[in-house]
Amino acid sequence: MVEDPRRPRQARWPVRVDLRDRRSRRAGSVPEGLPVRSGARRTFPQGQTAPWRGSQVHASRPRVANLLATRDPFRRRTWMFGDYSIGDLGSIFVMQGFAGLILFSVYVLMALGLAIIFGQMGVINMAHGEFMILGAYVTWMTSNLFQAYLPSLFSGYFFLAMILAFLASGALGMLVEWVLIRHLYKRPLDTLLATWGLSLMLQQAYRSVFGAREVGVELPQWMLGSLHVTDSIEVPINGVFVMCLTVLITISVAYVLYMSRWGRQVRAVVQNRIMAGAVGINTEKVDRYTYGLGCGIAGVAGSAFTMIGSTGPTSGQLYIVDTFLVVVFGGAASLLGTIASAFSISQTQSTLEFFMSGSMAKVLTLLAVVGILMLRPQGLFALKVRK
């Protein structure tokens, strides 16, 4: 719209332009190139009004010489926050909230495996991101094989790829536990250094086998497109699929840990290893399977990540810090705390990323979490243990 030259700021209300207003003679001082918003109106001799064409029309000097923006008494006032109306802000928060839910899904899948390894076993696994990337590469290879040899079954390749990713990452995790981790229990600093070195070795192995460039999978036809919630809000189908997958895996892990016989053995070993061994539980076998389960869930997280992004040899390091942050913030041994902290961190970071850069949003989120941990070091949902 064309603003009144006497006003230092541009009017925020819907306006009409009155050619018959004698004050319009003063509009000749309006600079050329002033943007005319879609809310500006032009008055015809009969008194009818019509909006200017286009959402952002730049006025020329001859046009603005006889135009003056005044408030339209026949339209309701639109409240503005900066450059956004209340409706725009609502749509923005809904879209950013859904983007946060997708990020929440990735965090939960990553943090579930890490919560099992770190929370249940006390092992600081700095190579957790590389197990995730292994699952992503397995999914990528499965996609290429289906495209080349089984194109008619390509629409269902992801379900097989997810199972293969779990088995590959879980098998590698059990091998790592047997070769390396079982010698380092009760030595957290040595475990941290050993797994950090393992992560560097796996990164170089991925770079040598798959190359340094990031790779992406081709989505099946049914996973393309969006679901239209409103005229301004669209929800991508692949994001909905990842969220549904996260819910299913979370329920399955909760059932295994809290309802199955093996889950009771895991919790018995965590509480009292000596007594668990005395009643006949093979503690070494439980440790190996627990570590393999955590790494397998990380592989599933990598498989799901290929649905929403590309994968490279070092992509796992982008999420390992956030994953540890989620586990510690929620409570190291609490499944509910892991879910709650993943939701709060992902939503905060996603909302802040709209108003500032991604790095600044991550820094502010980290500072907020650190401040809360200073007040509550045990996390949001710390488990009560009898001593």
d(CA 10, CA 359): 33
Strand partners, 311: 215
- Compare 97 and 111 and report the one with higher pLDDT: 111
Mean pLDDT, to the nearest integer, of 10-26?
Answer: 40
Name every residue whose Cβ is closer than 8 Å to that of residue 383 and which is 6 or more positions away in sequence. 331, 333, 334
pLDDT tens digits, residue range 59-80? 443 344 334 444 444 445 555 5
288 has a pLDDT exceeding 60: yes
Q: pLDDT above 90 covers what percent of the chain? A: 19
- Compare 83 and 152 and report the one with higher pLDDT: 152
pLDDT tens digits, residue range 228-239? 766 666 778 888
Which among 35-39, 57-61, 67-71, 333-337 has the top mean pLDDT? Answer: 333-337
304 has a pLDDT exceeding 50: yes
pLDDT at 276: 86
pLDDT tens digits, residue range 150-172? 888 888 899 999 999 999 999 99
Q: What is the dihedral of CA 180, 182, 188, 193, to 10 degrees?
A: 0
What is the rounded average pLDDT for all residues in the chain? 75
- Compare 264 and 335 and report the one with higher pLDDT: 264
92 has a pLDDT exceeding 60: yes
Q: Which CATH architecture fits 86-375?
A: Orthogonal Bundle (1.10)
How many other CB atoms sit within 10 Å of the CB of residue 281? Answer: 17
Domain ranges (residues) in the chain: 15-78, 86-375
Q: The pTM is what?
A: 0.72
Cite the DSSP H helix spans in the chain. 61-64, 86-114, 121, 128-149, 157-179, 188-210, 237-259, 261-271, 273-278, 283-305, 317-330, 335-355, 358-375
305 has a pLDDT exceeding 50: yes
Mean pLDDT, to the nearest integer, of 306-318?
Answer: 85
- Compare 172 and 351 and report the one with higher pLDDT: 172
Which among 16-20, 167-171, 189-193, 233-237 has the top mean pLDDT? Answer: 167-171
Mean pLDDT, to the nearest integer, of 342-367?
Answer: 81
pLDDT at 196: 92
